[in-house]
Structure 1
């Protein structure tokens, strides 16, 4: 399989692409549940609940009212978002998420940046 170029990625909330972003991260986990019994010589494990979370960031742009500003509003109002994380033009992860934090950096010698962190609520799908 050929490598995928990162510059073809994007983040969408609902029908809107969030502009001025340059990276996103996603972590998908399954909880380990201990299934060890008295007398076992080895630890037993069974899979538990699944979860997903991550972050995305780039250049700060609150003029992006349907993107970055909407994400900030979702954080401040504790409202869920419909999130799509594209790896290229056609493949993406999607699900409902909550924005759990927003970080801004304003260095004197560089551009202002923003980073949003999110936690999934319910299933995550890959298309």
Structure 2
């Protein structure tokens, strides 16, 4: 069987990953990082906004961006370690987007949108705005 001709990388084409796909990966990763909650607690929510961006000059030849900036909005239980949970979300989102989409994530901005108050027993009393 004859050998296939070698095609230069610039002529092979490129795979583009839609922002909404990256957003879904990031949202799922954020929920994974938050971990399980008591059955009575409100389900965690992670809203995600993805902004593709490449620091410095754009990739040559119309190649897709290799860097993405992710903004995550969370609803968390309170009281709790809010800073620790946000840090875990940042790490997990960056890891999963890089692993599954092959994109570097230099920034994961986390915004806590709501806190859900809980008793010491873990039952939900309400929400704080």
TM over 0.5: no
Rg bigger for which structure? 2
- TM-score, normalisation: structure 2: 0.33
Q: When you count strand as a share of all residues, which structure comes out higher?
A: 1
